[in-house]
Structure 1
Amino acid sequence: MTAPTPDALLAELHKAADAVASTAAKFSDEDIKAPSALPGWTRGHVLAHLQGISNAMARQLEHAAHGETVELYDGGQDGRDKAIEIAAGHSTDAHRADLNAGLDRALRAFDSLDGGAGWQAPIAYRGGVVLDGGLALWRELVIHTADLNAGLGPETWSRQFCEHLFDFLAARVAPGDKLVVQPLALPPIALGDGGRSTVISGMITDIAAWLAGREPSLGSLRASAAADGVDLPELLPWPSGTPEAK
């Protein structure tokens, strides 16, 4: 599967940022307190996380522009978690202001990149480069917008985004397993190289949602092995070393 080009990724980042900002703009103070799709998190927690990861990724790029690397979150994982808990209960206006400021900061950082070289500058996130950070922010914005339970669920995810998730989340396939994902009307894709083969068929968005630990919204998933229906296999946790912990 081919990753998006920097130009295509930049367009997707702007699109995803617009979607989450437009969604947040509709919330009342009561809406913010309502549960999200993530256990134990309100919509306020999700919005606090989104502004936090936007600022954190902007910070990666700002330091990379000077040939420096810095940990993703100021204060590490502890700092991230505390900031989310503190900000989760803020008013709707405060959430909107913080989210929009974080998104603007991140998009400015990506918009200012110097061609191909800028996208390949090293960052601390996963020991990768700026392109990896852009893909991570894309995942964060799209998936957590769905987690807000406000009408933009996994059924709205693009084919390109779903195929990117297949590639990134192949790390969740347990050793010894091989998943043959068979999206409706599309070519099959093998994930993992174990000897136990399970076919996962359904709409591409349902398969991607399941791999991402989300509830498939169209109810089309089916697992089979040797032509017999079986339970969906257990997946490993999200790839380690990432802020995408939920």
Structure 2
Amino acid sequence: MDWRDVIDEVDAGVERIAGTLGKLTDDDLRGQSALPGWSRGHVATHIARNADSLWNLLEGARTGVEIPQYASLDARNAALDEGAGRSGPELIEDVLATAARFSEQARTLPEDVWNAPVKAMLGWPHPAWYTVFRRWHEVEAHHVDLAAGYGPADWPEPYVRWASAATLADMAALPEKSLGALAGYRITATDSGDTADLGWAPGAPEASGSARALLGWLSGRSDGAGVGVRPDGPLPAPPPWPHEPAGF
């Protein structure tokens, strides 16, 4: 999928988040999200600060001066704590304004810097255009994390198609030590046919399900409903997601 088309998908996802937040009371926003230790206000604040952080990467590509995604992990966490207690209207305004700023930056990125290297907070590099796809992950996954009625079943089909295929490809490129309990598995999306062999050999375990079911499970946004394992047994815990992209 062309990254320029993804900007519209991201914008639509942010509008859906604003709609969800608009249905929550301030007490709801203080309530626990699906992420341990984070309230819904923390999640909403993170969605906004993530837009700012990815804007930084695009600005670095535009100017040729490296700008870190976040000043530091401590600074990121402090900003989340500072913003989490705001009212619903304040959170919505922040989410929408920062999203619009990011989208404008992406839409006006000069063609000659699309492939300029930038660096994720965790240290791995990627071309500037991939920042838009990273934002797509953040918007859709963290909408689920609000624990306010939006789940993997609500993800738009274009996101599921891209993110499930990308997740399987990225996992297949991970070193065995990063696969955890999934080392040795084969994972297959029954509808798309996408497959990840994670050191699999004949007779080793396999997991399969629709692309949507697999994405929900592998992203940690579902309990694995709709995913089957052969031989029968409990689903293993997937490694932390999202993963470093498997080359460009």
Distance in 1, matches of 2:118 and 2:27, equals 38
Task: Please state if 1:55 is matched with 2:52.
Answer: yes
Q: TM-score, normalised by structure 1?
A: 0.84
Question: How do residues 75-86 of structure 1 correspond to structure 2 at under 5 angstroms?
Answer: 76-86=72-82
Amino acid across the alignment from 1:21: A
Whether contact under 8 Å (2:219, 2:242) holds in the other structure is no
Aligned alpha-carbon RMSD (Å): 2.5
Q: Which residue of 1 aligns with 2:19?
A: 22
- Assess, with a 3 A threshold, how the Cα gap between structure 1 residues 169 and 43 changes in structure 2: closer, same or farther: farther
Q: Which residue of 1 aligns with 2:101?
A: 105
Give the secondary structure class of the aligned counterpart of 2:67: coil
Moved more, 155-164 or 79-88: 155-164
Distance in 2, matches of 1:169 and 1:20, equals 28
Q: Which residue of 1 aligns with 2:205?
A: 198
- Sequence identity (%): 25
Q: TM-score, normalised by structure 2?
A: 0.83
CA displacement at 1:184 relative to structure 2: 3.7
Q: Which residue of 2 aligns with 1:65?
A: 62
Deviations 1:93-143 (A, max 9, x none): 22112111211111111111223x332122232222212222211111110
Distance in 2, matches of 1:124 and 1:182, equals 30
Q: Which residue of 2 aligns with 1:164?
A: 166
- Assess, with a 3 A threshold, how the Cα gap between structure 1 residues 210 and 71 changes in structure 2: closer, same or farther: same
Whether contact under 8 Å (2:48, 2:98) holds in the other structure is yes
Task: Please state if 1:229 is matched with 2:232.
Answer: yes
Distance in 2, matches of 1:47 and 1:12, equals 18
Whether contact under 8 Å (1:65, 1:118) holds in the other structure is yes
Deviations 1:15-61 (A, max 9, x none): 22222222223222122112211122111010011111101111111
- Assess, with a 3 A threshold, how the Cα gap between structure 1 residues 21 and 211 changes in structure 2: closer, same or farther: same
Distance in 1, matches of 2:15 and 2:116, equals 26
CA displacement at 1:239 relative to structure 2: 6.0
Whether contact under 8 Å (1:173, 1:179) holds in the other structure is no
Deviations 1:160-207 (A, max 9, x none): 232233334443534982432233433251242354832112232221
Distance in 2, matches of 1:186 and 1:5, equals 19
Q: Which residue of 2 aligns with 1:121?
A: 116
Q: Which runs of 5+ in 2 are unaligned?
A: none
- Assess, with a 3 A threshold, how the Cα gap between structure 1 residues 40 and 180 changes in structure 2: closer, same or farther: same
Distance in 2, matches of 1:132 and 1:188, equals 21
CA displacement at 1:12 relative to structure 2: 2.2
Amino acid across the alignment from 2:149: G
Distance in 2, matches of 1:108 and 1:73, equals 20
- The size of the alignment, in residue pairs, is 233
Distance in 1, matches of 2:213 and 2:21, equals 24
Q: Which residue of 2 aligns with 1:150?
A: 148
Q: Which residue of 2 aligns with 1:177?
A: 183
Of 28, 37, 46, 1:31 maps to 28
- Assess, with a 3 A threshold, how the Cα gap between structure 1 residues 177 and 240 changes in structure 2: closer, same or farther: closer
